[in-house]
């Protein structure tokens, strides 16, 4: 939790941890080292001082009007009531476009900076004339250049850390109440859908699988797996391997032989993948029972890691399961 101290000097700061506030499901948590510390220069002040995860103090506008987001937090900014003037939340398949959900919400003049998870060209940021820049970990090498353009806060979370990123950004912008209100509503809806699913198919298990032309990936955390297992709290199928740092495990088609889930969320961009004509795949219970719910890899990366996308996918996945 960020501590705000009205009337402190410009050099003062307060350090605090992001506390876990219980709702019907999980609230965001963050370690002390990754929670921004904020002080205010007095009631009505035009600026606030943020001490970021690196221990650097940055003076930012108290009410920024021209935010450039290259931290992947555009959907969270929209939820919090901000309309960024430039964004890096681009389409997985075509970085010259914003994701469909973001495109529908942003002003038509919003500048596309290129995908936020790659290093951004500072000249593009300069063109936007921001009063605040939110930059993610990939922008750390160009932090000094960005900070010469406008006050820059380095957000220490990548695309897979949704709740931590949301909490950090909300703290920086003094919008914690709005964040908690949104999460409370989201978690309440997830709990409602969990109850509906559990009533219809009690204790049936799930696996999240991505199939490419060369390999199979079995997910247990992040993205769609986070929605299924953490938000909807649906049972994980026995035999799912422990994940690598990115949230899943790469395996061969033979690796599926240890699984036999009741339901599968299948992510793939094409039917021409390693599952085609596989007897192991066709022999799985979920496949034989027609309980495989397809989702494109593109949609997963565009939507499963951000606020509005998670909200849409929560409804889509629950609807597919309950059909």
Helix residue ranges per DSSP H, the chain: 74-79, 100-105, 122-128, 143-149, 162-172, 176-200, 223-225, 279-282, 285-288, 297-303, 307-322
Average confidence (pLDDT) over 97-105: 97
pLDDT tens-digit series, residues 51-69: 787 778 899 999 999 999 9
Q: What is the pTM of this model?
A: 0.85
Is the residue at 14 inside a domain?
A: no
Looking at residue 59, its pLDDT comes to 95
Handedness of CA 167, 172, 177, 178 (dihedral sign): negative
Q: How many CA atoms lie within 13 A of 14 on its CB side?
A: 19
Q: 270 and 211, same structural domain?
A: yes
pLDDT band at 9 (very low <50, low <70, confident <90, very high): very low
Which of these three, 181, 214, 238, is where a domain ends? 181
Torsion from C-alpha of 250, 92, 122, 133, nearest 10 degrees = -90
pLDDT digits (tens, 9 = 90+) for 113-146: 999 988 999 999 999 999 999 999 999 999 999 9
Give dist(CA 50, CA 183) in Å, integer.
24
**Mean pLDDT value of segment 245-273:** 92
CA distances from 195 to 106, 189, 198, 223, 269 (A): 34, 10, 5, 21, 31
Q: Are the C-beta atoms of 170 and 179 separated by less than 8 Å? A: yes
Residues 163 and 254 grouped into a single domain: no
Q: Is residue 195, in this structure, part of any structural domain at all?
A: no
Closest by Cα among 243, 248, 242, 238 to 204:
238
Comparing CA positions, the residue from 322, 310, 316 lying closest to residue 101 is: 310
Where residue 92 sits, what CATH number does that domain have? Answer: 3.40.50.1980
Length of the chain equals 323
- Say if 52 falls within a structural domain: no
Q: Give the position of tokens 């019907």.
A: 24
> Is 23 inside any structural domain?
no
Distance from C-alpha of 129 to C-alpha of 75, rounded to nearest angstrom: 21
Whether the pLDDT of residue 29 is over 60: the answer is no
Domain count within the chain: 2
Domain membership flag for residue 116? yes
The pLDDT of residue 13 is above 90:
no
pLDDT digits (tens, 9 = 90+) for 271-300: 889 999 999 999 999 999 999 999 999 999
Residue 50 lies in a domain: no
Domain of residue 298, residue span: 201-322
Last residue of a domain, one of 147, 181, 215: 181
């Amino acid at each position: 939790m960020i501590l705000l101290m009205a009337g402190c000097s410009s050099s003062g700061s307060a350090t605090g941890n992001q506390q876990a506030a219980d709702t019907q499901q999980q609230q965001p948590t963050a370690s002390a080292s990754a929670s921004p510390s904020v002080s205010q220069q007095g009631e009505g002040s035009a600026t606030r001082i943020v001490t970021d995860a690196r221990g650097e103090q940055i003076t930012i506008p108290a009410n920024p009007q021209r935010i450039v987001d290259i931290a992947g937090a555009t959907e969270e900014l929209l939820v919090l009531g901000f309309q960024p003037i430039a964004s890096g939340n681009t389409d997985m398949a075509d970085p010259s476009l914003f994701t469909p959900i973001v495109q529908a919400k942003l002003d038509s003049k919003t500048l596309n900076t290129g995908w936020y998870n790659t290093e951004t060209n500072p000249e593009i940021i300069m063109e936007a004339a921001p009063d605040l820049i939110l930059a993610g970990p990939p922008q750390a090498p160009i932090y000094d250049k960005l900070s010469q353009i406008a006050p820059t806060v380095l957000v220490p979370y990548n695309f897979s850390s949704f709740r931590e990123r949301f909490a950090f950004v909300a703290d920086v912008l003094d919008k914690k109440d709005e964040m908690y209100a949104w999460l409370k509503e989201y978690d309440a809806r997830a709990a409602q859908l969990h109850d509906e699913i559990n009533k219809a198919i009690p204790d049936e298990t799930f696996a999240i699988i991505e199939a490419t032309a060369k390999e199979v990936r079995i997910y247990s955390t992040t993205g769609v797996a986070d929605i299924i297992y953490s938000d909807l709290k649906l049972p994980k199928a026995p035999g799912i391997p422990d994940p690598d740092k990115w949230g899943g495990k790469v395996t061969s088609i033979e690796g599926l032989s240890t699984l036999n889930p009741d339901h599968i969320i299948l992510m793939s961009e094409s039917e021409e993948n390693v599952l085609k004509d596989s007897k192991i795949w066709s022999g799985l219970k979920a496949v034989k029972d027609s309980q495989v719910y397809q989702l494109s890899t593109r949609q997963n990366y565009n939507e499963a890691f951000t606020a509005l996308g998670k909200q849409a996918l929560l409804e889509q996945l629950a609807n597919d399961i309950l059909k």
